[in-house]
Amino acid sequence: MSKIAVVYWSGTGNTEMMAEACAEGAKEGGNDVTLAEVSSFSPADAANYDGLMFGCPAMGAEVLEESTFEPFFMETEAFLENKPVALFGSYGWGGGAWMEDWAQRTRNDGAKLFGSGLAVENTPDSSALDECKSLGRDFAAQL
- Using one digit for the tens of pLDDT, what is the confidence trace for 48-88? 999 999 999 999 888 999 999 999 999 999 999 999 999 99
Instruction: Give me the residue spans of the domains in the chain.
Output: 3-141
Output the pTM of the full model: 0.97
Per-residue model confidence (pLDDT) at position 126? 98
Q: 3-141, what's its fold?
A: Rossmann fold (3.40.50)
Output the DSSP codes for the chain. Answer: --EEEEEE--SSSHHHHHHHHHHHHHHTTT-EEEEEEGGGS-GGGGGG-SEEEEE---BTTTB--TTTHHHHHHHHGGG-TT-EEEEEEEESSSSSHHHHHHHHHHHHTT-EE-TT-EEEESS--HHHHHHHHHHHHHHHHT-
Per-residue model confidence (pLDDT) at position 92? 87
Q: Is the predicted pLDDT of residue 95 greater than 90, yes or no? A: no
Q: Is the predicted pLDDT of residue 133 greater than 90, yes or no? A: yes
